[in-house]
Every structure is written in C-alpha cells, then in structure tokens.
C-alpha cells in the first residue's frame, strides 16, 4: 500500500493543504516543483501497479460550463485512481448562472463535497467559488487561464529534458488563455517564453507584465513579437493552440484569416534550427489549420505524452490540495 508520508508530509506539501489553484501566478516556485515531484512519483508507481488511495472517501465536484474530453476524463480517472469519487455536473444540472449566485453555490457545495474543479468561461466564476466556499477550488479552464494544462506542459518538458531553467518556449498563435498561462508557468520554472502572435491578438498587457515580474528572480525573459519565424529560432519548444477557442466560433473566419501565417508547419519547425526541438499542442487540434499532420505526428511531437501528463499532474494537484488536514 502507498505510504503518503513519503510524498505529502514535507513543509511545502503541508502548506498546500486546503488551498485553491486558480492561476499559476498564485503558486510559489516551491509549490510548482512539489507538484512536479508528486506527479513523477505517482506516474512511476501507477505504471508499476501501485495504488494510491490518498483521497479515499473524498468527493470532487466537477463543474463543466464548457464541454471537455481531456479535462473531464483526466480528472474523473485521476480522482478514481486516488480512491475518491468524481461527481460530474454539467451546466444543465446546476442552478449556477440560472438564478443562483456563485456565492450560494459555493457555500452549498462546501457542505457536500471536499473539492471543486470548474471548467468555465469567466475567470470570475472560479474566483467567486474560491472566495465564498471553504474547500479547494481548481481552475480547469477559463477564457483567461488554463493552469492545469500548463503545469502538465512544463512537467513534460522537465521529464523530456531533465531541466527547464534556461530553455526557450515559443508559443505561436492567438494570445489567449494558453499564452497567458504559459508566461506565468515559464516565469516559475525558469523558462524563457516568447509569444508570437498577430498585433490584433496579443495577450493582455497586465499578464505580460505580471509574468515578467514573476520571472525576475530566475532571469526569465518574457517577450511578445509578431514574426513567428524569427521567434522560433533557437526554440526548445514550439507550442500552438486552436485558432478559435470554444465559445469563439463566431470569430472563426476572422481568426483563420489573421492566423494563417502562424501555422505550425514543417517550415516553422525547421526555422528553430534545433534538431531536438519539441512540438506541443494542448488539444483538441484542428489539423490543417494551426498545425499540420506532418508536425502533429512527426518526430518532434510530444503532444500525446503531454496529454497523458494531464492525468498525472492533476492527480498530484488533487492529492496536495485535498489531503486530510488531520494527518
């Protein structure tokens, strides 16, 4: 049987008990590396058949205002593997946003379950649940941020390269929630981050500045540029995302026109001038738009390793935040 003392009883882990994860910006560097440490151990031991019922008897409410494949499956399977119960709640099964305030929802759920994961549009929904509830709240995605995905991304880089400090991450595409969280994440793990995007689709300047401030201690450079081919030169990782995110379908035609020069294709990979450059995508991918089949399925792609790591990293987050305070 799994011995939790080896994983969850040091000072950093104990300090994470009962906290919420709303943004990587809110995490300390020590907390990010603790998540990676626990992710690595859980992944390794799960693959050897060791069970980790760290959350036996615990229930996670999973609120989905946006549909999902990876977020739902990874959190649901992860909670089950930890010995707990994942409770799926769609927008049609809740009164949230249909008359009941986030405050009331948070207070009620705090008396029923041990944690909340929410995938929604508005970052304020996540903030309100955390502010009014008394249990950990995990941001599964908002239009502003995608912290769990990016923690899995940087864990994958660390797993593949054995380090993150001093490496260069280049994100090519819309300056969206992924761009925001990649900047926050790079600042915490010591990776330089360049966002290559059209002038019309730049990341929020306040997030760029906050990430730069976060990265000062590690000497991290956070840059925004508009030339994808110049940006990827010397890159260790090239990252992309769909051109029109869920809920932005009305903008698909406009964004497709603007973002065509930012397609992650074979020529862009070659422009990195790095035979070991890795290609990442948070999925789902619209093959032939933001990424070509040849790159997605090519030798530089770690897309599906990255997707698998959502499971292991989120298990670590759940275990760290939802462990019993009495232990």
Query: What residues are labeled active site?
Result: 119, 146, 149, 241, 282, 310
Query: Of how many residues is the chain composed?
Result: 327
Distance (Å) of CA 134 to CA 78, 118, 131 = 22, 15, 8
SS3 at position 227: coil
Nearest-angstrom CA–CA distance, 73 and 46: 17
Tokens of 51: 């069970």
**Hey, how many other C-beta atoms are within 10 angstroms of the C-beta on 123?**
16
Burial class of 268 by CB neighbour count within 10 A (0 to 12, 13 to 18, 19+): buried
Nearest-angstrom CA–CA distance, 253 and 273: 32
The bridge status of strand 115-119 relative to strand 59-64 is parallel
Q: What share of the chain is helix, strand, coil (3-state, %, to 5)?
A: 50, 15, 35
Task: Note whether 108 and 131 are within 8 A (CB).
Answer: no
């Amino acid at each position: 049987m799994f011995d939790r003392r080896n994983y969850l009883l040091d000072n950093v882990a104990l300090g994470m008990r009962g906290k919420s994860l709303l943004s990587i910006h809110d995490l300390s560097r020590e907390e990010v590396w603790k998540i990676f440490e626990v992710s690595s151990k859980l992944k390794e031991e799960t693959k050897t058949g060791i069970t980790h019922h760290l959350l036996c008897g615990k229930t996670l409410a999973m609120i989905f205002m946006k549909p999902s494949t990876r977020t739902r499956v990874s959190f649901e399977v992860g909670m089950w593997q930890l010995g707990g119960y994942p409770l799926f709640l769609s927008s049609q099964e809740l009164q949230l946003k249909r008359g009941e305030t986030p405050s009331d929802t948070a207070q009620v759920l705090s008396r029923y379950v041990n944690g909340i994961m929410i995938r929604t549009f508005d970052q304020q929904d996540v903030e309100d649940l955390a502010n009014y509830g008394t249990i950990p709240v995990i941001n599964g995605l908002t239009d502003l941020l995608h912290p769990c995905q990016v923690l899995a991304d940087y864990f994958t880089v660390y797993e593949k390269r054995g380090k993150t400090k001093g490496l260069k991450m280049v994100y090519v595409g819309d300056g969206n929630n992924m761009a925001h969280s990649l900047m926050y994440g790079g600042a915490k793990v010591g990776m330089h981050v360049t966002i290559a995007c059209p002038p019309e689709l730049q990341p929020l300047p306040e997030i760029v500045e906050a990430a730069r401030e976060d990265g000062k201690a590690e000497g991290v450079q956070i840059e925004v540029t508009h030339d994808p081919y110049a940006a990827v030169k010397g890159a260790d990782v090239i990252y992309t995302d769909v051109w029109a995110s869920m809920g932005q379908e009305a903008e698909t035609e406009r964004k497709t026109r603007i973002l065509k020069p930012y397609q992650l294709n074979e020529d862009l990979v070659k422009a990195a001038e790095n035979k070991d450059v890795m290609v990442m995508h948070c999925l789902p991918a619209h093959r032939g738009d933001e990424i070509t089949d040849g790159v997605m399925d090519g030798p530089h792609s770690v897309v599906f390793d990255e997707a698998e790591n959502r499971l292991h990293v989120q298990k670590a987050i759940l275990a760290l935040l939802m462990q019993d305070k009495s232990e």
